[in-house]
Structure 1
């Protein structure tokens, strides 16, 4: 269980870094039309990030 928790923390960290870099870069490259085209994709990515926050929190309660 401890290994699974560490892997979930690592994947959460990498996904967060990807979002921190990727979302602003995608806005700068395409302008306002990018928001209209990719709004659904951004919300899916943000929803996955929130799910991973809750998953790490639940796993934390089992490890400690």
Structure 2
């Protein structure tokens, strides 16, 4: 669906996941909070799933209505 091999996607996950997590932590820490970081709702999709959704969207321009296989 993405046009990339599994090996390339794994490489992207390894390279981008730490950057995304650091940016996410920084964004949470930058604003005034009533609750501690980590409280509240959790992400519905893991970083790998978010990356795959982004790659499919960029390749096909599909909307979020397209189901993803589990």
TM exceeding 0.5: no
The structure with the greater share of residues assigned to helix is 1
Shorter-chain TM-score tier: 0.3 to 0.5
What TM-score results when the alignment is normalised by the length of structure 2?
0.40
What TM-score results when the alignment is normalised by the length of structure 1?
0.42
